[in-house]
C-alpha cells in the first residue's frame, strides 16, 4: 500500500484541517508538495467546487482552490509525485474540455495526472452553472465512456446520447497511454462505475467495515486502485501508534492507496510530520518507492457508438 496526501490549504473541510491553514498560501503548499515528492508519497490532491451555497458551506466547507490552477503550480514544484483531482464533477464539464485542459496538465507534469471524477450531489451548484441535475448519473456514465475514448488522442471520436463528436483536433493531449481514472462515490453504483470505466475507486462517507465488504464482494479488474481515506487527521509524531494502526486498518480493509490528512501546527511542522510518517509507514511495510508512470498496456478503446456500459444502468439515479 502507498500513501497519498489530501493536500492541506486548498480544501478546508470541517474537522479535517488545522488552524494554520486558514492563513497559509501557495508557497506553504509548495514546500509541503516538495517534501512529499522527495519522500516518495504517492499523490497530492485538489478537489472541485465552483461556488458552495453559504448554508452548505457550514457542513462542506467553503474553501476550494481551483484544481487545474493548483495542480499546474504543484507540477512545477515537484518531479515524481502524482497529481490527482479528488474529485472533478463530471457534469460541470464537456469531456473534451477535461481532455484538453487536464491533458495539458499531464503533458507539463511529465505524465503524472490521475483524474478523480464524480457525479456530484450539490443541486444548487448544478443550477448555478446551468447544467442538468436529475439525469446526472446517466450523463456521468456516458462522460466516463467518452473520456476513456478521448484522453491521450489527437483526434478523439465518440457518439452517444449526450455527447457526440468527431473531426476535432485536441492538441496538446495527455501523454500517458492510459490516464488513471479514479471514480468517487459512496454507493455500490459508484463502485460499478469504477470497475466499468475506471482504474480505481475512491469512496467517502462510509464506515471502513462497509467499504471492506463492498470491495471484498466486487469483481475488481487487475490492476485496480482502492483508495481509502483515514477519515481523521493522523499525528505521526504525537500519536504514532494510532497513526500506524489507522494505516494498518485501511490496508487490511483492501486499500492499495491510503489518502491521509496530516495534523500540524504550521507548514514547517507539516513537513516534519511527513518525515515521521514516512519512517512509521516504512516500518510497517508501506511502499515509498518512486511512483511508476502509468504504463498499463491496455489502451483506450477506439471510436465508439455509445457509452460502454449496461443500458439498464444508465437509467439508474446517480
Model pLDDT for residues 276-290, shown as the tens digit of each residue: 999 999 999 999 997
Asked if residue 263 has pLDDT above 80, the reply is yes
Q: How far apart are alpha carbons 90 and 67 in whole angstroms? A: 14
For residue 113, the SS3 value is: strand
Q: How far apart are alpha carbons 189 and 115 in whole angstroms? A: 19
Q: What are phi and psi of 136, to 5 degrees?
A: -65, -25
Asked if residue 308 has pLDDT above 50, the reply is no
Q: Which of 192, 133, 141 is nearest to 304 (CA)?
A: 141
Confidence at residue 60, expressed as pLDDT on a 0 to 100 scale = 85
Q: How confident is the model at residue 314 (pLDDT cuts 50, 70, 90)?
A: very low
- Report whether the peptide linkage leading into residue 165 is cis, meaning its omega lies within 30 degrees of zero: no
Confidence at residue 285, expressed as pLDDT on a 0 to 100 scale = 98
Q: How confident is the model at residue 313 (pLDDT cuts 50, 70, 90)?
A: very low
Confidence at residue 318, expressed as pLDDT on a 0 to 100 scale = 55
Q: Which three cell numbers stand for residue 242?
A: 494510532
Q: How far apart are alpha carbons 304 and 78 in whole angstroms? A: 36
Tell me the average pLDDT across 4-29.
93
Asked if residue 231 has pLDDT above 50, the reply is yes
Tell me the average pLDDT across 264-293.
93
Confidence at residue 291, expressed as pLDDT on a 0 to 100 scale = 63
Q: Which three cell numbers stand for residue 78?
A: 515537484
Q: Rounded to two decimals, what is the model's pTM?
A: 0.90
Asked if residue 127 has pLDDT above 50, the reply is yes
Confidence at residue 306, expressed as pLDDT on a 0 to 100 scale = 40
Give pLDDT tens digits for 58-93. Answer: 888 889 999 999 999 999 999 999 999 999 999 999
What percentage of the chain reaches a pLDDT higher than 70? 91
Burial readout 248-276 (b: 16 or more C-beta within 10 A, e: otherwise): ebbbebbbbbbbbbbbbeebeebbbbbeb
Give pLDDT tens digits for 37-63. Answer: 999 999 999 999 999 999 888 888 889
Q: Which of 183, 164, 142 is nearest to 316 (CA)?
A: 142
Confidence at residue 302, expressed as pLDDT on a 0 to 100 scale = 38
- Are 128 and 49 a contacting pair, CB within 8 Å? no
Q: Which three cell numbers stand for residue 284?
A: 510497517
Q: How confident is the model at residue 17 (pLDDT cuts 50, 70, 90)?
A: confident
What percentage of the chain reaches a pLDDT higher than 90? 84
Q: How far apart are alpha carbons 316 and 112 in whole angstroms? A: 33
Instruction: Compute the mean pLDDT over every residue in the chain, rounded to the nearest whole number.
Output: 91
Q: How far apart are alpha carbons 141 and 313 in whole angstroms? A: 9
Confidence at residue 49, expressed as pLDDT on a 0 to 100 scale = 95
Amino acid at each position: 500500500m502507498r500513501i497519498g496526501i489530501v493536500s492541506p490549504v486548498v480544501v478546508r473541510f470541517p474537522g479535517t484541517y488545522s488552524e494554520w491553514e486558514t492563513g497559509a498560501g501557495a508557497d506553504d503548499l509548495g514546500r509541503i508538495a516538495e517534501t512529499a515528492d522527495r519522500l516518495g508519497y504517492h499523490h497530492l490532491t485538489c478537489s472541485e467546487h465552483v461556488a458552495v451555497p453559504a448554508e452548505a458551506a457550514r457542513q462542506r466547507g467553503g474553501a476550494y482552490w481551483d484544481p487545474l490552477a493548483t495542480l499546474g503550480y504543484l507540477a512545477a514544484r515537484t518531479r515524481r509525485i502524482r497529481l490527482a483531482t479528488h474529485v472533478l464533477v463530471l457534469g460541470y464539464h464537456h469531456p473534451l474540455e477535461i481532455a484538453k485542459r487536464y491533458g495539458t496538465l499531464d503533458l507539463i507534469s511529465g505524465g503524472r495526472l490521475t483524474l478523480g471524477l464524480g457525479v456530484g450531489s450539490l443541486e444548487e451548484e448544478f443550477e448555478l452553472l446551468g447544467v442538468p441535475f436529475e439525469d446526472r448519473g446517466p450523463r456521468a456514465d456516458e462522460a466516463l465512456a467518452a473520456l476513456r475514448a478521448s484522453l491521450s488522442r489527437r483526434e478523439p471520436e465518440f457518439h452517444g446520447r449526450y455527447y457526440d463528436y468527431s473531426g476535432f483536433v485536441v492538441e496538446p493531449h495527455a501523454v500517458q497511454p492510459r490516464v488513471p481514472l479514479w471514480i468517487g462515490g459512496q454507493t455500490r453504483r459508484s463502485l460499478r462505475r469504477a470497475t466499468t470505466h475506471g482504474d480505481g475507486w475512491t469512496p467517502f462517507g462510509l464506515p471502513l467495515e462497509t467499504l471492506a465488504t463492498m470491495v471484498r464482494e466486487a469483481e475488481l479488474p487487475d490492476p485496480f486502485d482502492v483508495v481509502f481515506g483515514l477519515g481523521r487527521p493522523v499525528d505521526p509524531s504525537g500519536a504514532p501508534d494510532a497513526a500506524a494502526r489507522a494505516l494498518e486498518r485501511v490496508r487490511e480493509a483492501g486499500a492499495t492507496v491510503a489518502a491521509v490528512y496530516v495534523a500540524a501546527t504550521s507548514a514547517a511542522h507539516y513537513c516534519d510530520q511527513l518525515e515521521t510518517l514516512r519512517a512509521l509507514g516504512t516500518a510497517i511495510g508501506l511502499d515509498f518507492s518512486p511512483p511508476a508512470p502509468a504504463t498499463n498496456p491496455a489502451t483506450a478503446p477506439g471510436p465508439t457508438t455509445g457509452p460502454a456500459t449496461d443500458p439498464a444502468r444508465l437509467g439508474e439515479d446517480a
